Amino acid sequence: MKLLKRFIVKKNERGLLFCEGDFVSILEPGVHQRFDLHNRLTVETFSLNTPRFEHRLAGYLRQSEPAVVDQYFERMDLAEHEVGLRFEDGALAELLPPGSRQLYWKGQSAQTLQRIDLTHSYRLEPTLLGQLGQPKLRGRTLAGLDAVLLAPVPAFHVGVLKVDGAVVELLPAGQYGFWRFNRQVSVDMVDMRIQSLEVSGQEILTRDKVSLRLNLAANWRYSDVLMAFASLSKPLEHLYREVQFGLRAAVGTRTLDELLENKQLIDDTVSQYLAEKLVGSGIEVSGLGVRDIILPGEMKTLLAQVVEAEKAAQANVIRRREETSATRSLLNTAKVMEDNPTALRLKELETLERVAERIDRISVFGGLDQVLNGLVSLKTA
C-alpha cells in the first residue's frame, strides 16, 4: 500500500484538496505529495480558462475562509440596484445581474468590475451600446447579453418606449439599449410613412335589399403616435372597423341605382364619415377608393337586360330622327327643283352618274338627251 499520494496541478489549473470530501486547502500549479494512509485524500481541479468559480463550496469559502478567498479569488458582489460589467484584461466579458455573488479565479487574467447604478437610469451609455450593438462581430462571446434590450429604430420609424407599461417617450431613428433589470422595458416600432389598408369582401345590403360585395383600399398614416396609442389599444384594428362602418353607412342608405349612377358617392361618404370619427385618434386617412363592386349573378343578368333594352330604345329613337331628317331634306330638295330647272338638271346628271357606276358597259344611241329622256320615262312609267 502506498503511503505517499501524488497530485499534479497544471499551470492553468487550481486544485481543491479534500479529505473524505471535506475541504482542506487550495493547491497551486505543481506536484503535490501527501501522506494518505487510509486513502482519504482527493483533489478536484479547475481550469482557469473558465474563471468563474461555480462550486458547492463557494458559500462556505465566503463565510468561513475569507483569507483563502482574498488570496485566490476576485469577489464580485452587487447590490440589488446595481448591474455589473466584468472585464478580463480590459475586455468586456460578462454582464452581471443585480444581487450577484460571484467568485473568479485570480492568476490567468486580470478581473475587474464596473458597477452601474440602476436607481435613476435604465438606458445604456453610448460607449457601452457601441460595444453591445454588434455581438456577432466580437472576437469572444459576451455572457449575460440577454440582460439588455437592444432596440434599433429604422429610418422613417419611431419607437414607443414603455417602462412598466407606461409610455415614456418617442425614440427617433437610431440605436438604443436598455437594461431589463428592475423594470419592464419594451419598445414598439411605428412606421410613420403612408400605409395601405385593404378592406375586402364586405357584404352589404342596399336600401332596396340588393346584396353587394365591395373591396375598398385606403391610405393612412399616424399624425400623432402618442395620441394614437394613448386613446386606442390597437389603432390599425380601430381604423379597419371604422372603414367598415363607413361603408355600411354609405351603401345601406342608398339604392342600387343611386350607387351605380355615381360611384364616387361611396368614396365621398366614407371619407366624410372617417374625417368625423377619427378626430383626436392620432390617425389620418389621406385617400380611399372603392376598387370593386360585385353584384350577385342574377342581378348581373337583369342589369344586362335593362342595359340592352335601353340601348335598343336609344337606337330606335336615333333611327326615327334620322329618317325624319332625311325626309325633310328630300322635301326641301324637291321644292328647290320645282322652281329651278337648272337644279333639276343637276339632279338628273347626279342620278345618271349613280346609274353609270353600277353598269360595266353602256351603249348610247341618240345622244345624252335621249338617255335622259329615257330615264325620265322609266321613272314616270
The reply to whether 125 falls in a domain is yes
How does pLDDT run across 111-129, given as a tens digit for each residue?
999 999 998 888 998 888 8
**How far is the CA of 162 from the CAs of 165, 183, 221, 233, in angstroms?**
6, 10, 21, 14
How does pLDDT run across 189-243, given as a tens digit for each residue?
999 999 999 988 888 888 888 888 888 999 999 999 989 888 888 889 999 999 9
Are 273 and 214 in the same domain? yes
The confidence score (pLDDT) of residue 365 equals 59
Are 125 and 162 in the same domain? yes
The reply to whether 323 falls in a domain is no
> Would you say residue 104 has pLDDT above 90?
yes
Are 208 and 276 in the same domain? yes
The reply to whether 97 falls in a domain is no
What's the mean per-residue pLDDT of the chain?
83
Counting residues of the chain whose pLDDT is more than 90, the rounded percentage is: 41
The confidence score (pLDDT) of residue 10 equals 93
> Residue 178: left if φ>0, alpha if ψ -120 to 50, beta else—which one?
beta
Number of domains forming the structure of the chain: 3
Are 167 and 241 in the same domain? no
The reply to whether 209 falls in a domain is yes
The reply to whether 144 falls in a domain is yes
CA-closest candidate to residue 229, choices 175, 161, 149, 178: 161
How does pLDDT run across 277-322, given as a tens digit for each residue?
999 899 999 889 888 887 765 655 555 565 566 766 777 777 778 7
The confidence score (pLDDT) of residue 306 equals 58
Averaged pLDDT, 128-147? 74
Asked which of 120-124, 140-144, 156-160 is least confident by mean pLDDT, the reply is 140-144
Are 176 and 266 in the same domain? no
pLDDT band at 17 (very low <50, low <70, confident <90, very high): very high
Last residue of a domain, one of 169, 191, 213: 191
> Would you say residue 88 has pLDDT above 80?
yes
Are 228 and 281 in the same domain? yes
Are 210 and 276 in the same domain? yes
Last residue of a domain, one of 145, 169, 191: 191
Last residue of a domain, one of 191, 211, 229: 191
The reply to whether 149 falls in a domain is yes
Are 199 and 179 in the same domain? no
Are 186 and 203 in the same domain? no
The reply to whether 361 falls in a domain is yes
The confidence score (pLDDT) of residue 190 equals 92
Dump the DSSP string for 227-281. Answer: HHHHH-SSHHHHHHHHHHHHHHHHHTTS-HHHHHH-THHHHHHHHHHHHHHTTTT
Are 200 and 173 in the same domain? no
Cβ proximity of 192 and 222 under 8 Å: yes
pLDDT band at 381 (very low <50, low <70, confident <90, very high): very low
How does pLDDT run across 180-190, given as a tens digit for each residue?
998 899 999 99
CATH of the domain at 271: 3.30.479.30
Domain limits for position 351: 340-381
